[in-house]
Chain A
């Protein structure tokens, strides 16, 4: 099959750029642990309030440098009393839903988690700036979707 010389140059350049892009993304993902929200844990969506850790939602300290924020999403809000976490510490978010699909998205951060009933979504994040952050749902979940929000307070230690 005939390829024009310039076309060969164009394709070699294009494919080489793709390889560079993918390598950057791949190295950042698997050697520096920059992976998107996810997790393989499952849960019975009808028994969320009886299943640990969602029987006791909120912030708990795991060790000196790690906290866990356990949050239940439901139409149209988040169940998590007192969302206050320290700045500069690793926060592990664990979220599930009792009804339809939602998201837990924290404005001005990289926390953007799909929340699927029957599954537990996990994301680790370290806040670098103190302040009050808006948490919102960005997956359509019903009439009140645009009213589904809460806040998280990040305090200086």
Chain B
């Protein structure tokens, strides 16, 4: 059991995460019904406000707070209790992030920031929305530096040793996150805030988009890497085996530092201001990031097979049936991984240069998002929640909770399967994303999109409703394990942190020489971005004034 003060920080982070999850999923439910024209919103609330809240609260707030709750618990578990300074800065980081979240959310509710979570200029929200977003980033930096400080103390006391795998992966994710945020911090501090408060008249739109996407793609890896951590270090323990290969796990993580950042142009393939050469170069770099994901897939299935055979599985596939399917800590994460197979394949399609034109900004992208962050990442976090909260509160995870947990992950998978399949297909037919309705005055072409068995508003609404029910079951489990379930007294009831052993005896030391990876990452960023950004600045058109079109 980790120190009670560390548990408290982690629990507050997870508490905020699930508060955001509650509101965010409610917004999602409203959206499917508004699109269906089955629900009329009151005059003071509009679709795009709800859409903004859905994106910000789920994609940014839920993920970020949960990730820090998980990191704090795991770092305290694997490196020892935090010192007073690490605790203090973890708290400061938490409160700054929360303050930023509240500011941004208040602006959305007030109708001053219906600009979606991508906040593309020259849509001009209240300056306080951008200040709120900046505080969110700065808060995560403070929390990150607290964890880096904790890690440095450990390294000083354990000279010449490789750090435990959990700590190594946490630091990798944090390094990637800090470098990635430089883009969004630059655009928000130097472009958006001065412009939104009226200190400058105009903004360079293409530059702001480029700096945003410098951050926007690694942002998705900031969500994914903690899920990968669970796959690498938690799953083997649940299965009763060791980490498949310590060195391979570490290598795949450092490759993410290198290849998740210099790839933002693949979100800007259909826009002007970037020449085809630079777009294509970043497409190539984007594909490099597939390599560590292939390594991860191999490690996972190797782990499953080893565990299944250990349990007596015979023949080519007999091990598969010997996996602990009744253990929701495992089943949830297994389903999460299964969703990532089409999710990852869809990502390759999206990034494929001219092929992007077919899917860019259609509902396909929305579907893609829901089977990447919405299931592989979110359902891994759910699978972690089932033991993480009881571990932190010292409460039981009762039998009825286990049954509910199973219902929750099955409903989530089924709802997501319906909704995301409908979205993918609708997108291929041409239906756009981010629209309240997409009937275009009953234009025949638009009516045709929604005419299929799977491609209609009803399928999406059914999927969305099932997802909402699932989300509410999860909230119930969270509330119970946080406040109401009986305390675990007997040893058999105590919920543990499943942290797998990892054999480091053959892991090369250079993998933990961070300066190599930071240096290479910066070099790749310079190669991919220096020339196109300087061209963009040198040949910039007159800037844009702000518009409030909502």
Q: Do A and B come from one complex?
A: yes
A interface residues, Cβ below 8 angstroms from B: 1-4, 6-7, 10-11, 14-15, 18, 21-22, 25-26, 28-30, 34-46, 75-76, 99-101, 103, 105, 107-108, 110-114, 116-122, 133-134, 136-147, 149
Q: In the complex where A1-B506, A105-B432 touch, is A121 in contact with B206 (Cβ < 8 A)?
A: no
Q: How far is the CA of A15 from the CA of B287 in the complex (A)?
A: 9
- Report the count of interface residues on B (CB-CB < 8 A): 73
Majority SS at the chain B contact face: loop
Q: A34-B354, A40-B273 are in contact. Are A145 and B434 (CB under 8 A)?
A: yes
Q: Is B338 an interface residue when CB atoms closer than 8 A count as contact?
A: no
- Can you sample 30 A-B contacts with CB below 8 Å? A1-B247, A1-B508, A6-B302, A10-B298, A11-B291, A11-B295, A14-B291, A25-B280, A25-B283, A26-B280, A36-B357, A37-B270, A38-B276, A40-B273, A43-B541, A45-B541, A75-B549, A99-B122, A99-B549, A107-B445, A108-B430, A113-B270, A114-B268, A116-B205, A118-B205, A118-B544, A134-B446, A142-B550, A149-B441, A149-B443
Partner of B271, one of A18, A38, A140: A38
Q: Identify the stretch in B63-71, B317-325, B329-337, B358-366 within 8 Å (CB) of chain A at 4 or more residues.
A: B358-366
Known: A116-B271, A145-B435, A149-B443. A42 touches B539 (CB 8 A): yes
Q: A11-B294, A38-B275, A138-B432 are in contact. Are A4 and B245 (CB under 8 A)?
A: yes
Q: Are A143 and B440 in contact (CB under 8 A)?
A: no
Pair B361/A105 contact, Cβ less than 8 Å: yes
Q: How far is the CA of A6 from the CA of B302 in the complex (A)?
A: 10
Report chain A residues within 8 Å CB of B352: 21, 25
Interface positions, chain B 6-36, Cβ under 8 Å from A, are none
Q: Report the nearest A residue to B353, measured CB to CB.
A: A25
CB pair B269 A36 closer than 8 Å = yes
By the criterion CB–CB under 8 Å, are A22 and B245 in contact? no
Residues 536-550 of chain B, each 1 if its beta carbon lies under 8 Å from chain A, else 0: 000111111101011
Write out the residue numbers on chain B whose beta carbons fall within 8 Å of the beta carbon of A141: 123, 549
Selected contact of A3 from candidates B248, B268, B432, CB within 8 Å: B248
Known A-B contacts: A10-B294, A44-B541, A134-B445. Give 16 more (CB < 8 A): A1-B251, A2-B245, A34-B354, A35-B276, A35-B354, A37-B270, A99-B544, A101-B205, A110-B354, A117-B122, A117-B205, A117-B544, A142-B123, A142-B549, A145-B48, A146-B438
Cα-based distance from A100 to B120 in the complex (angstroms): 9
Whole-angstrom CA separation of A28 from B355 in the bound complex: 11
Q: Is the CB of B355 within 8 A of A25?
A: yes
Q: Tell me the smallest distance from the CB of A102 to a CB of chain B, in Å.
A: 10
Say which residue of B204, B287, B547, B549 sits within 8 Å of A18 (CB atoms): B287
Q: Are B547 and A75 in contact (CB under 8 A)?
A: yes
Interface flag for B437 (CB, 8 Å): yes
Which residue of B is nearest A120, CB measured? Answer: B272
Closest chain A CB from B505 CB (angstroms): 11
In the bound complex, do residue A36 and residue B270 qualify as a contact, i.e. CB atoms below 8 Å apart? yes
Q: B547 is contacted by which of A11, A99, A136 (Cβ under 8 Å)?
A: A99
CA distance A149 to B514 in the complex (A): 51
Chain B residues within an 8 Å CB radius of A43: 541
Of B114, B121, B435, chain A has the most CB atoms within 10 Å of the CB of: B435
The 10 closest A-B pairs by CB, nearest first: A142-B549, A118-B541, A42-B541, A114-B271, A138-B432, A146-B435, A119-B272, A138-B361, A134-B445, A14-B294
CB within 8 A of A38: which of B270, B298, B362?
B270
Query: Do the beta carbons of B291 and A15 come within 8 Å of each other?
Result: yes
List chain B residues, Cβ under 8 A from A35: 276, 353-354
Q: Which residues of B contact A114 (CB under 8 A)?
A: 268, 270-272, 360
A residues less than 8 Å from B357 (CB atoms):
36-37, 110-112
Q: Which residue of B lies closest to A3 (CB)?
A: B248
CB distance from B437 to the nearest CB of A (A): 5
Q: Pick the contact of B437 from A6, A40, A139, A146 — CB < 8 Å?
A: A146
Known contacts A25-B353, A38-B270, A143-B46; A4/B539 CB under 8 A: no
What 1/0 flags go to B251-288 for Cβ under 8 Å of A? 10000000000000000111111111001100110010
Cβ contact within 8 Å between A140 and B287: no
Measured in the bound complex, the distance between the Cα atoms of B443 and A146 in whole Å is: 12
What is the CB-to-nearest-CB distance from A32 to chain B, in angstroms, rounded to a whole number?
Answer: 10
How many Å lie between the Cα of A57 and that of B36 in the bound state?
Answer: 36
Q: Decide if B102 is an interface residue (CB 8 Å cutoff).
A: no
